[in-house]
Structure 1
Amino acid sequence: MFASTLIIFQGLNRPGITADLSSPEEWRYLSSQAYAIQRPLETVQGTPASVSRFRLLLPPKTALIIKYNPQSRTVADTLVPDYGLTGNALLAIEKSPSWLKLDLTDNLSQLDASRQNTLADMILNPREPRLRDEIAFEAAHISASHLKVINLDVIRQNVDSLYAIDNELEYADIVDYGNPDKDTNYYSTIRYKVLKDGINLDCEIPKEIYYWYVIHPRGTDENPAIIYNKFWREYLYYDNGTKSYTESGSYPLLKDALDTIEFAWEIKPQSVGGGAVSAVYDWVNGVVKWGATSPRPIQPIEIACDHDGNCGEFQDITWAAGRTALIPTVGVLDINEDHVWCTMWMSKSYDLPEESEWRPDSSGAFDKDHGGSKYCSLIWNWRGDGYQYSVIEQYSKSCTLTVKALGTNGKPLSNMNVNVNSQGWQTNEVLNGYSGITNRDGVFVTAVGEEQDYYIKVLCNNLGKVVDSLSSLAGSNFNISCTLNTDYIPKSRDLSGINMYSHFAITGEMDTTIDMPEDKNAYLVFLNNYPEMSEALSGTISITEKGVRLLLDAEYDLGHCPTNSYEATNSRSTVLFSPGRLTDFFVTDWNGVHSLGLSEEAARNPEPLALSVQTLNLSRCVRFSLNGAESLVMLNVYDEAGRMVYSAKASPDSRGIAVIEWSILSQPSGVYFARAKSGKFLSTSKFVLVR
């Protein structure tokens, strides 16, 4: 199915329950891209609803649809894309930090049920609750293509050994902000002891640096793997003895190298690091000697056991040793000049983390103009999910390359893969560089080195040499526009035949009030009508005397970039862009909704029984609200095993509304299913109870 992310409705009366996915046949969505399911809209206060909130990632050509009832002045009966998540996966997402929910669900939705459940169990049952955010981050940001094939126990072993090592190091402490069992936005980072003018000071790293470059289990082109029954973080620090690289007594353990270190690095303008940073480099040079022999492993454990290598082996063991020592470390690639190395994150000033920088090790390939031995073309960093980004400006004078991809109709194409290549060092052969994707305007921008030839491929279209060495002078800007000679022309939905009471595109943050029909039900439609990119959308819907007020935020656009690399298993990294005009909002009638893909059966029954679920009294009670009841309502609630755990009856009032409240004090966390029947109408709802 299409990669997408679960909608999370947020109300002031959470936590406790998240009303979730059900799919009565009368609401079945027949889009060729995805299916939609009916989901009750969680409200902020009371019933009937006066304020409701939502947050979701809309995949291309899918919609969030909410029904407005002018008689009761309520919104309900929500249609959202079906993300194919298991019950345990839903529970795990609900338990994870809010800043991870969309990315986590985007990844989980691409996996089969077995792997979803394995990852969900890790998130729900960590060794300690404080480990949950690190586990959830790995599940959200290891490329889904790798999650499909790796031993998932990598994730658990990685985090368990991380915290064990943290307890032993003098210069670093993992600190938590928020309570993982109570707060929705909790996170962790590392607080270091750093040295300045002979005095130990405290320094914290930004959380993004912590998660991506300390926690993430993948450094460059290797698949994270269990070797000798251990993951590299535990093996490099402790050594499991299966194939010990300490058996001769000449190779030190990383644990011993760090045992007496009291500070992470020293703040000096030109310092390589000192402290733990220097101890890691010294340890690497003590374990691996220059001069590679066959075989040429890429796994850090195997390199540590092999004891020799060239720059590739040194890079792979250095980033792993740095992260083992809880120092943020990233692999840098200058493959087309035949060199790679690492950089470590260090602060210039202990109280100004924004003035920090990535400092390369002594083998960094600076351009000749910066004191190096070669002219550099493409230098890039490698993020753990496969995302690659240019850092040439740190090492060389540079120029800017802008590529714009157009379809045969002249319109920009987003999410198009762009490969940037150059000639290799001391050869005329064109070698692969890095890759990126075009944004919603069809544009990809990158920095490249000066005085080099550059070659571009967009999707399957080879543009050949687009910049030559004579013209690529420092500070130059090159704009390359191409029309893809392919039959692939993504198309948006045709909205011309839809009756719209109101219509506009959502751009960033918006606050607007719209008039609604007074004599018939209407439908609020949020349609991502852009064919290639998803959009994160959040909002609040308020019923006011003047109409329906919408507070909306198009948070970001999302694409997936296939990595142009030497990996055994290619990544598909997640790339975020500033929001564009992807999502159309309009108000329409039932025929308009039906034209988006609802079934004929739904058209014959445009007003089905609507069942909504919400919590009351600090999650001690669940309220089931039913609209459209024509006779006595029969309600049954089942757990995930199919056992009926609650049953009740209620008579509707003159408006067709019935309310049933269920005490849940004795109910465990889990996935539940509610089934309500009134006369010939039937409605079901799947919801998650979180303790």
Structure 2
Amino acid sequence: MGTKSRNLTCLLWTILILLLCPRGGLSQDDQGPGESPSEEVSDIIPAGWTLLDEVAFDLYLEAGRHLGVRYDPATQTLHRIEPRRDYELKLTAAAEEAVNRAPRWLRHELTWVFTQIPADDQDLWAAAIHDANDPYVDEIAFAVAHSSPQYLTSGYGSPDLFVRNAELIYENAAALDYVEVIDVGSSDSNDDYYSTTRYVQSFIAGTRSGVPSVTTIDAPRDVYYWYVVHPKVSSEIPAFIDPHLVESNRSHNENIAPPPAGAFWRDYLFNHADPGYPVLRDRLSRCTIAGDGTSLGGDSAIGAVNGWINASMSFTSEGERPHQPNRIYDKHIGRCGEYADLAAAAARAALIPCTSIASTSTDHIWNEFWHERWIQWEPVNNSVDEPLVYATGWGKVFGTVYEIRSDGQVRSATDRYTTGTATIDLTVTDALGHPVDGAEVRLYAKSPSATRFISDFYALTDNEGCCSFVVGDRLDYAARVTSTIGSEPNAPNQRIELVSAAVAGERYAHSVTLAGVMPALDAAPIEAPAADDSSYRLIVSFAVPEQLLAGDVWADDVAPFTQHLEKVEGGRIDFFVADGVGYEQSVAGAPFEAFGVYRQVGERQIILAIPPTADWRCVFSNAARLNNLQHLVGTVRLYAH
């Protein structure tokens, strides 16, 4: 082919690249989304081009790591590059088998938690999944995927506990008329299989036809798994517990014991009763409906659980303040914390979705249960669906109110429990003005009558260095920011004052600068090599639909610092193409040359014309992050004419 023809081909491909890459260049800093990777490749590849090879990926890309796809000129094929350092963990064969047997929607979290624990522990917990029978596989897999790595390596729990937890869900449901477990698919029939619970909402026996009129509701999938299935209620250690052993207020682990002395709360609370106390199962067996969401009377299951708690407990306390539901029941006394833990466990044993709601600033905790929406519930006061009773009836002045999820994530519920709220937005940047991800921002509150600030809530910053707090009005607020590149204030036990006497409806914005500097991609952009009409084409399509904030659990009896992942929409990565030398320099953290450089993009579709002898790597990098994982989905396809 002549020079003019060859140049025309290059020009056409360059025009196509410019059309697909906003702002018109292969080297850019782009903060906005690009073309959707879901666009049909056939729409952008001219006729006569043949697909030679393809690499697809769908994974959580950890902070500081990258995924590469190499074009091998010797074989004209593509190869995935995902290097791990010697000390980093890989999936064992057993863990990989367990991941593949789990529902597709659980596999990312399950893969992540397995890669955080040693091989022996991977195999131990993986066996519980791949040896299980349907319908228990998904419940067991969920419990493993959403337990902290620290718990899975602690020795406190066991795979037998998670298996028994799943079995008891179905056993308890079989004994109850108001609920059934619905299995949608199975591990052998459908990758996206799942289960949920179906509740009898109303039951009218006296119809003219003589046939009862029944209305049912199904719990959303996530409500079932998080608030019925998960074996951890709040801060306690999921384990078989001997209810008769004293539980230390410091470690909360002295009453862990294997069966038969130890029992799991889902069985113990449902089937056991001390002399003179009612059996929960017996009370629930008379219930025909789950509840109406507004009352505790009639033959509703939530009313039966409420009555059982009050018949089993007295509102007082002594020196021992247990967290384990079994031990709380054995003592038959407690204050709001014990009542909340026991209520959540008893409701879940009855297959009623339930969680705990807390306010540190007012030193109070209660519950919510799900009935088409989340409903306030406090058994000791026979209170239901009265979220404003604390503010308007008790005179509580809340800073923040939050839910404690079973994995330790705390989620704001302030707007449901206060008559007036304000919002505090905080942005954290480094010394150069770049956003700091994964910084812990601890919020402090002080009421008008108080003399000091108290720690009230916390959040992690996202990729943009941002977090927000919904807070009650009238209080003063301060914060402390902690990150691996610095803290502010730098002196320990100091705070930044944010707001004085917050006003309802107001939005307050604050920025904090840390002394350190964020990591960055040290790529020097170069021109893409010229390619003639015999060149191969790479089509790179990717999206980053989510970022995952890896945080420490605020309160956990397992260990001082256990981990959880918080999903946030909209992730970003860096992308570049380099030869072998440039790639190795990038891995070493040295400056390097690359083309097709995109910084912090959420999705892209890129066409690259490459000479058949080029030894190139397409690299998807999360090296510019300190903490946050990025959910990366995409393909790299190789075409030839």
TM-score (norm 2): 0.72
2:497 paired residue number: 466
Structure 2 stretches of 5 or more lacking a match?
A: 1-49, 206-212, 243-261, 590-612, 614-641
The equivalent position to 2:97 in structure 1, one of 91, 94, 99, is: 91
Structure 1 residues 107-127: Cα deviation after superposition (integer angstroms, max 9, x where no partner): 11111222211110001011x
The equivalent position to 1:386 in structure 2, one of 408, 415, 418, is: 408
Q: State yes or no: 1:200 paired with 2:214.
A: yes
Q: State yes or no: 1:271 paired with 2:283.
A: no
Contact 1:500–1:586, Cα closer than 8 Å, also in 2: no
Q: How many percent of aligned residue pairs carry the same amino acid?
A: 27
Query: Distance in 1 between the 2:498 and 2:514 partners?
Result: 19
Report the alpha carbon displacement of residue 442 of structure 1 after superposing the two structures with TM: 0.3
Distance 1:117 1:72, change over 3 A: closer
The equivalent position to 1:479 in structure 2, one of 484, 509, 522, is: 509
Distance 1:164 1:500, change over 3 A: farther
Residue 592 of structure 1 aligns to a residue whose secondary structure is helix
Structure 1 residues 239-285: Cα deviation after superposition (integer angstroms, max 9, x where no partner): 2xxxxx52x2x211211121111111126xx4357611111111111
Q: State yes or no: 1:230 paired with 2:293.
A: no
Q: State yes or no: 1:435 paired with 2:458.
A: yes
The equivalent position to 1:501 in structure 2, one of 528, 533, 543, is: 528
Report the alpha carbon displacement of residue 490 of structure 1 after superposing the two structures with TM: 2.9
Query: Distance in 1 between the 2:421 and 2:111 partners?
Result: 38
Report the alpha carbon displacement of residue 473 of structure 1 after superposing the two structures with TM: 1.3
Contact 1:191–1:205, Cα closer than 8 Å, also in 2: yes
Residue 321 of structure 2 aligns with an amino acid whose one-letter code is: R
Distance 1:117 1:64, change over 3 A: same
1:449 paired residue number: 472
Contact 1:331–1:340, Cα closer than 8 Å, also in 2: yes
1:314 paired residue number: 339
Which of structures 1 and 2 has the larger relative contact order (alpha carbons within 8 angstroms, sep 6+)?
2
Q: State yes or no: 1:118 paired with 2:124.
A: yes
Query: Distance in 1 between the 2:321 and 2:55 partners?
Result: 58
Report the alpha carbon displacement of residue 550 of structure 1 after superposing the two structures with TM: 3.2
2:312 paired residue number: 287
Q: State yes or no: 1:574 paired with 2:565.
A: yes
Residue 574 of structure 1 aligns to a residue whose secondary structure is strand
Contact 2:280–2:305, Cα closer than 8 Å, also in 1: yes
Q: CA RMSD in A?
A: 2.9
Residue 192 of structure 1 aligns to a residue whose secondary structure is strand
2:59 paired residue number: 56
Does 71-80 or 301-310 show the bigger shift?
Answer: 71-80
TM-score (norm 1): 0.67
Query: Distance in 2 between the 1:517 and 1:116 partners?
Result: 50
1:357 paired residue number: 374
The equivalent position to 1:490 in structure 2, one of 493, 514, 518, is: 518
Contact 1:86–1:117, Cα closer than 8 Å, also in 2: yes
1:552 paired residue number: 542
Contact 2:344–2:354, Cα closer than 8 Å, also in 1: yes
Query: Distance in 2 between the 1:227 and 1:368 partners?
Result: 34
Report the alpha carbon displacement of residue 469 of structure 1 after superposing the two structures with TM: 4.7
Report the alpha carbon displacement of residue 49 of structure 1 after superposing the two structures with TM: 3.9
Query: Distance in 2 between the 1:87 and 1:312 partners?
Result: 43
The equivalent position to 1:375 in structure 2, one of 391, 397, 400, is: 397
The equivalent position to 2:141 in structure 1, one of 128, 136, 139, is: 136
Report the alpha carbon displacement of residue 519 of structure 1 after superposing the two structures with TM: 7.6
Contact 2:109–2:145, Cα closer than 8 Å, also in 1: yes
Residue 145 of structure 1 aligns to a residue whose secondary structure is helix
Contact 1:417–1:562, Cα closer than 8 Å, also in 2: no
Distance 1:209 1:77, change over 3 A: closer
Report the alpha carbon displacement of residue 424 of structure 1 after superposing the two structures with TM: 7.0
Q: 1:608-647 counterparts in 2 under 5 A?
A: none
The equivalent position to 1:561 in structure 2, one of 548, 551, 561, is: 551
Contact 1:561–1:574, Cα closer than 8 Å, also in 2: yes
Query: Distance in 1 between the 2:457 and 2:128 partners?
Result: 33
Query: Distance in 2 between the 1:290 and 1:179 partners?
Result: 45
Q: State yes or no: 1:209 paired with 2:223.
A: yes
Query: Distance in 1 between the 2:431 and 2:569 partners?
Result: 25
Query: Distance in 1 between the 2:165 and 2:460 partners?
Result: 31
* Number of aligned residue pairs: 495
Contact 2:344–2:367, Cα closer than 8 Å, also in 1: yes
Report the alpha carbon displacement of residue 129 of structure 1 after superposing the two structures with TM: 2.0
The equivalent position to 2:235 in structure 1, one of 215, 221, 224, is: 221
Does 387-396 or 560-569 show the bigger shift?
Answer: 560-569
Report the alpha carbon displacement of residue 68 of structure 1 after superposing the two structures with TM: 2.5
Query: Distance in 2 between the 1:467 and 1:426 partners?
Result: 18
Query: Distance in 2 between the 1:293 and 1:500 partners?
Result: 74
Report the alpha carbon displacement of residue 173 of structure 1 after superposing the two structures with TM: 1.0
Query: Distance in 2 between the 1:421 and 1:563 partners?
Result: 17
Residue 408 of structure 2 aligns with an amino acid whose one-letter code is: G
Residue 373 of structure 1 aligns with an amino acid whose one-letter code is: G
Query: Distance in 1 between the 2:390 and 2:573 partners?
Result: 48
Query: Distance in 1 between the 2:236 and 2:464 partners?
Result: 33
Q: State yes or no: 1:262 paired with 2:295.
A: no
Residue 337 of structure 1 aligns to a residue whose secondary structure is coil
Contact 1:122–1:156, Cα closer than 8 Å, also in 2: yes
Residue 184 of structure 1 aligns with an amino acid whose one-letter code is: D
Contact 1:451–1:468, Cα closer than 8 Å, also in 2: no
Contact 2:478–2:499, Cα closer than 8 Å, also in 1: no
The equivalent position to 1:304 in structure 2, one of 310, 317, 329, is: 329
2:628 paired residue number: none
Contact 1:435–1:563, Cα closer than 8 Å, also in 2: no
Query: Distance in 2 between the 1:401 and 1:64 partners?
Result: 36
1:12 paired residue number: none
Structure 1 residues 97-155: Cα deviation after superposition (integer angstroms, max 9, x where no partner): 111111111111111222211110001011x2221111111111112222222312432
Report the alpha carbon displacement of residue 449 of structure 1 after superposing the two structures with TM: 0.7
Q: State yes or no: 1:418 paired with 2:441.
A: yes
Distance 1:425 1:170, change over 3 A: farther
Contact 1:273–1:346, Cα closer than 8 Å, also in 2: no
1:621 paired residue number: none
Residue 292 of structure 2 aligns with an amino acid whose one-letter code is: E
Query: Distance in 2 between the 1:180 and 1:517 partners?
Result: 50
2:432 paired residue number: 409
Report the alpha carbon displacement of residue 290 of structure 1 after superposing the two structures with TM: 1.1
Distance 1:119 1:273, change over 3 A: farther
Distance 1:253 1:196, change over 3 A: closer
Residue 123 of structure 1 aligns with an amino acid whose one-letter code is: I
Q: State yes or no: 1:337 paired with 2:362.
A: yes
